[in-house]
């Protein structure tokens, strides 16, 4: 595999059935009914219901460190040299898990991965759209004491009905704190959600962005501004936001249009594969050529929040 950067992985989406059972056992909890459930899902919400129910087994700082360590070891094997990891603190704090246990456990895993695998990385705190803007602001305030552990803020969970514009104030405040900004948009929501993420939230990357292709002006804007799209093909098939054939995935059009798209894994425990599996599946389906695999890896590195010297070291 080409050396690359993972920019779109939800750490809770790496919680596989084996680790769910192990953590349930360790914490004296029942194994959630959804353990082991995978693709296909009816839609994003059908998946999210399982995802939130399963993550209930994550209780302690050690649980988060173990989750992070397992993901990072698997990512290293996929050629990932730098990982910017999404975490959903609200899904844990609303169950009574202290936010510092979430952030310090994952940060410990990142520090260990630097020593064990030579990987760099950082955390992106995502706000859950379905809990609304006030809860997002409270979450930002709760994580700011750990500002040094954070790279960026993001926006995820149920998309339609929760447009980016709702979160203007919290993204503005995050930017004032020097945090970078990304947002899920155009996964199920239309091109207007992508415009809002760019214009109102100041998002520097769009997570997914598939539906941006429906708006020619937006495509031109994304091309001119070199805005990264972090694309997750197996996720799109699993959640029926693209497909049913991978050969028809919009990534081919994105590359033809000269957009800065890269391939990532989203929730690999649920969607049938890690970053390398996504790339292999795309090549097997004929969606991208072997040469484009190198372009995708270079795009991922260029789209990361690494400083220029760090990017150059990976390219
Ligand atoms: N949270 C975890 N996976 C997600 C996805 N694919 N879209 C939005 N929110 C998510
Ligand atoms: Zn995602």
The domain ranges of the chain are 4-302
Tell how far the Cα of 147 is from the centroid of ligand 1, in angstroms. Answer: 23
Number of Cβ within 10 Å of residue 307's Cβ equals 9
Q: Are 3 and 299 in contact (CB under 8 A)?
A: no
- Ramachandran quadrant class, 95 (left: phi over 0; alpha: psi -120 to 50; beta: rest): alpha
Tell how far the Cα of 8 is from the centroid of ligand 2, in angstroms. Answer: 6
Strand residue runs (E) in 193-296: 205-208, 228-231, 260-263
Q: Which residues are annotated as a binding site for Zn(2+)?
A: 8, 10, 184, 266
Domain 4-302: give its CATH architecture: Alpha-Beta Barrel (3.20)
- Rounded CA gap, 303 and 236, in Å? 21
Q: State the complex-level ipTM.
A: 0.99
The 8-class DSSP code of residue 33 comes to: T
In tens digits, the chain (315 residues) has pLDDT values of 799 999 999 999 999 999 999 999 999 999 999 999 999 999 999 999 999 999 999 999 999 999 999 999 999 999 999 999 999 999 999 999 999 999 999 999 999 999 999 999 999 999 999 999 999 999 999 999 999 999 999 999 999 999 999 999 999 999 999 999 999 999 999 999 999 999 999 999 999 999 999 999 999 999 999 999 999 999 999 999 999 999 999 999 999 999 999 999 999 999 999 999 999 999 999 999 999 999 999 999 999 999 999 999 998
Q: Are 39 and 80 in contact (CB under 8 A)?
A: no
| Ligand that lies nearest to the alpha carbon of residue 88, given by its number in the listed order | 1
Q: Which tokens is 174 given?
A: 């995050």
């Amino acid at each position: 595999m080409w050396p690359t950067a993972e920019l779109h992985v939800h750490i809770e989406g790496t919680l596989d059935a084996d680790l769910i059972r192990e953590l349930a056992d360790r914490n004296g909890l029942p194994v959630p009914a959804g353990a082991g459930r995978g693709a296909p899902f009816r839609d994003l919400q059908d998946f999210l219901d399982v995802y939130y129910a399963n993550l209930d087994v994550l209780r302690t700082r050690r649980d988060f460190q173990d989750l992070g360590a397992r993901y990072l070891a698997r990512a290293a094997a996929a050629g990932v040299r730098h990982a910017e990891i999404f975490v959903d603190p609200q899904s844990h704090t609303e169950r009574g898990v202290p936010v510092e246990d979430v952030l310090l456990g994952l940060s410990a895993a990142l520090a260990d991965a630097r020593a064990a695998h030579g990987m760099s990385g950082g955390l992106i705190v995502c706000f859950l759209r379905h809990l609304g803007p006030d809860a997002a602001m409270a979450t930002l305030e709760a994580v700011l004491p750990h500002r040094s552990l954070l790279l960026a803020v993001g926006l995820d969970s149920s998309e339609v009905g929760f447009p980016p514009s709702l979160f203007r104030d919290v993204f503005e405040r995050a930017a004032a704190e020097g945090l970078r900004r990304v947002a899920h948009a155009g996964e199920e929501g239309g091109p207007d959600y992508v415009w809002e993420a760019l214009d109102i939230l100041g998002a520097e990357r769009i997570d997914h962005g598939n539906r941006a292709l429906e708006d020619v002006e937006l495509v031109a804007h994304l091309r001119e501004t070199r805005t990264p799209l972090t694309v997750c093909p197996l996720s799109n098939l699993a959640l029926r936001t693209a497909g049913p054939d991978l050969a028809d995935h919009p990534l081919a059009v994105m590359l033809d249009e000269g957009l800065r798209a890269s391939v990532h894994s989203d929730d690999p425990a649920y969607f049938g594969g890690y970053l390398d599996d996504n790339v292999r599946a795309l090549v097997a389906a004929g969606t991208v050529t072997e040469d484009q695999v190198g372009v995708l890896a270079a795009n991922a590195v260029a789209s990361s929040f690494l400083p220029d010297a760090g990017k150059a070291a990976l390219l």
